Amino acid sequence: MNLKKLITGESGEKLFLLGNEAAVRGIIESNVSIASTYPGTPSSEIGNILYLLAKESGIYFEFSINEKVAMEVAASSSISGLRSFTFMKHVGLNVAADSFVSTGYVGTNGGMVILVADDPSIFSSQNEQDTRHYSRLANIPTLEPSNPQEVKDMIKYGYELSEEFKIPIIIRCTTRVSHMRGVVELGKYQKEKITDKSSKNSNSHWKKGYFEKNPEKYVIVPNIARELHEKLVSKIESIEEEANESNLNEIYSINENKPKLGIISSSSAFNYCHDVIVEDNLEIDILKLGFTYPFPKNKVLSFIKDLDGVFIGEEVDPIMEKEVLAIIGESKLDIKVYGKTNNIFPKTLELSPDIVRESLNKIIKEKTKNKEIQNQLSGEILDLMDKLPNRPPTLCSGCGHRSAYFAVKKATEELGIADENVIFASDIGCYTLGVSPPYETADYLLSMGSSIGDGHGFSKATNQTVVSFIGDSTFFHSGIPPLINGIHNKSNFVVTILDNRITAMTGGQPNPGLEVDGMGDEAPAISIENLVIGCGCKHVKTVNPINLKKTIESYKEAFNHDDLSVIIAKHPCTLIKGQKKKRKMKIKKDKCNNCFDCVNLLACPSISIRNDEAIIDETCVGCTTCSQMCPNKAIGVKKE
Amino acid sequence: MNQTEKNKENKTKKNKNKENKNKIKNLSNSSDFLKNSYTIYVCGVGGQGIIKTSTILAEAGMKEGHNVVTSEIHGMSQRGGVVSTEVKIGDYKSSIIENNNANMILSFEPIETIRGLDKGNKNTKLIFNTTPLIPPNINSQEKDYPKVDTVTNILKRNYPNSYPIDGNKLAIESGNILSLNMVLLGATIASDGFPLSRETVIEVMKENLNEKFHEMNLKAINLGYNAMQKQKKA
Question: Chain A, 209-268: which have a CB under 8 Å from a chain B CB?
Answer: 245-247, 250-254, 268
Chain B residues whose beta carbon lies within 8 Å of the beta carbon of residue A274: 27, 93-94
The complex's ipTM works out to: 0.93
Find all residues with CB under 8 Å of A120, minimum gap 6, and list them.
Answer: A128, A174, A175, A176, A268, A315, A316, A349, A350, A351
Of the options 3.40.50.1000, 1.10.240.10, 3.30.360.10, 3.40.920.10, the CATH number for the domain spanning B35-138+145-233: 3.40.920.10
| Confidence at B141, pLDDT banded by 50, 70, 90 | confident
Find all residues with CB under 8 Å of A539, minimum gap 6, and list them.
Answer: A557, A558, A561, A563, A564, A565, A566
The predicted pLDDT at position A194 comes to 77
- Per the rule left: phi > 0, alpha: psi between -120 and 50, beta: everything else, A423 is beta
Measure the CA–CA gap between B221 and A592, rounded to whole angstroms: 42
Q: Give the gap in angstroms from C-alpha A2 to the nearest C-alpha of chain B.
A: 7
Annotated binding site of A: 592, 595, 598, 604, 620, 623, 626, 630
B15 — contact with chain A (CB < 8 Å)?
Answer: no
B137 — contact with chain A (CB < 8 Å)?
Answer: yes
Chain A residues whose beta carbon lies within 8 Å of the beta carbon of residue B95: 176, 180-182, 268, 271
Residue of chain A with shortest Cα separation from B60:
A16
Mean pLDDT in residue range B13-25: 55
Most A CBs within 10 A among B27, B32, B134, hence the mutation to make, goes to B27
A81 — contact with chain B (CB < 8 Å)?
Answer: no
Q: Give the gap in angstroms from C-alpha A111 to the nearest C-alpha of chain B.
A: 13
The predicted pLDDT at position B19 comes to 47
Taking an 8 Å cut-off on Cβ atoms, the answer to whether A388 and B114 are in contact is: yes
Q: Give the gap in angstroms from C-alpha A195 to the nearest C-alpha of chain B.
A: 13
Residue B1 has pLDDT above 70, yes or no: no
Measure the CA–CA gap between A497 and A480, rounded to whole angstroms: 11
The predicted pLDDT at position A200 comes to 59
What are residue A586's DSSP bridge partners?
A: A636
Measure the CA–CA gap between A34 and B99, rounded to whole angstroms: 43
Q: Where are the alpha helices (DSSP H) in A489-617?
A: 528-534, 548-560, 597-602
Measure the CA–CA gap between A556 and A567, rounded to whole angstroms: 11
Find all residues with CB under 8 Å of A157, minimum gap 6, and list them.
Answer: A143, A248
Main-chain dihedrals φ then ψ at residue A287, nearest 5 degrees: -105, 110
C-alpha torsion sign, points A541, A543, A545, A548:
negative
CB B54, CB B72: distance < 8 Å: yes
A281 — contact with chain B (CB < 8 Å)?
Answer: yes
Main-chain dihedrals φ then ψ at residue A147, nearest 5 degrees: -160, 170
Measure the CA–CA gap between B186 and A32, rounded to whole angstroms: 42
Most B CBs within 10 A among A188, A375, A505, A575, hence the mutation to make, goes to A375
Q: Please give the single-letter amino acid code of residue A277.
A: I
The low-confidence residues of chain A, meaning pLDDT below 50, are none
The predicted pLDDT at position B36 comes to 78
Main-chain dihedrals φ then ψ at residue B41, nearest 5 degrees: -100, 115
Chain A residues whose beta carbon lies within 8 Å of the beta carbon of residue B34: 279
The predicted pLDDT at position A623 comes to 96
Chain A residues whose beta carbon lies within 8 Å of the beta carbon of residue B111: 388-389
The predicted pLDDT at position B18 comes to 47
**DSSP states along A22-61:** HHHHHHHHTT--EEEE---TTSHHHHHHHHHHTGGGT-EE
Find all residues with CB under 8 Å of A241, minimum gap 6, and list them.
Answer: none
The predicted pLDDT at position A639 comes to 82
Measure the CA–CA gap between A59 and A305, rounded to whole angstroms: 47
- Domains defined along chain A, listed by start: 5-242 (3.40.50.970), 250-367 (3.40.50.920), 400-570 (3.40.50.970), 585-637 (3.30.70.20)
**DSSP states along A468-498:** EEEEHHHHHHHTHHHHHHHHHTT---EEEEE
Taking an 8 Å cut-off on Cβ atoms, the answer to whether A247 and B94 are in contact is: no
Every domain of chain B and the residues it spans: 35-138+145-233
Choose the closest CB to B100 out of A247, A371, A505: A371
Choose the closest CB to B158 out of A176, A280, A381: A381
Main-chain dihedrals φ then ψ at residue A13, nearest 5 degrees: -70, 145
**DSSP states along chain B:** --HHHHHHHHHHHHHHHHHHTT-EEEPPPHHHHHTT-EEEEEEEETTSSHHHHHHHHHHHHHHTT--EEEEE--SSTTTT-EEEEEEEESS----SPPTT--SEEEESSHHHHHHTGGG--TT-EEEEE------TTGGGSSSPPPPHHHHHHHHHHH-TTEEEE-HHHHHHHHT-GGGHHHHHHHHHHHSTT--S-HHHHHHHHHHHS-GGGHHHHHHHHHHHHHHHHHHHH-
Taking an 8 Å cut-off on Cβ atoms, the answer to whether B20 and A250 are in contact is: yes
Q: Please give the single-letter amino acid code of residue A348.
A: T
Q: Give the gap in angstroms from C-alpha B233 to the nearest C-alpha of chain A.
A: 26
Helix axes B214-233, B180-190, angle to 10 degrees: 40
CB A183, CB A149: distance < 8 Å: yes
Mean pLDDT is lowest, of A323-337, A623-637, B74-88, B207-221, for: B74-88
B229 — contact with chain A (CB < 8 Å)?
Answer: no
Annotated binding site of A for [4Fe-4S] cluster: 592, 595, 598, 604, 620, 623, 626, 630
The predicted pLDDT at position B53 comes to 97
Q: Give the gap in angstroms from C-alpha B132 to the nearest C-alpha of chain A.
A: 12
The predicted pLDDT at position A392 comes to 84
C-alpha separations of B85 from A107, A151, A226, B69, B159 in Å: 41, 20, 50, 11, 21
Measure the CA–CA gap between A579 and A582, rounded to whole angstroms: 9
A-B CB pairs within 8 A amount to 226
Most A CBs within 10 A among B96, B100, B113, hence the mutation to make, goes to B96
Question: Angle CA(B45)–CA(B104)–CA(B191) in degrees, nearest 5?
Answer: 110
Residue of chain A with shortest Cα separation from B144:
A389
Taking an 8 Å cut-off on Cβ atoms, the answer to whether A252 and B139 are in contact is: no
Q: Give the gap in angstroms from C-alpha B130 to the nearest C-alpha of chain A.
A: 16
The string over A365-395, giving b where at least 16 C-beta atoms fall within 10 Å of a residue's C-beta and e elsewhere, is eeebeebeeebebeeebeebeeebbebbbbb
Measure the CA–CA gap between B213 and A382, rounded to whole angstroms: 41
The predicted pLDDT at position B137 comes to 77
Residue B14 has pLDDT above 90, yes or no: no
Give the 3-state DSSP-derived string for A329-376, with helices as H, strands as E and coil as C: HHCCCCCEEECCCCCCCCCCCCCCHHHHHHHHHHHHHHHCCCCCCCCC
The string over A234-246, giving b where at least 16 C-beta atoms fall within 10 Å of a residue's C-beta and e elsewhere, is ebbeebbebbbbb
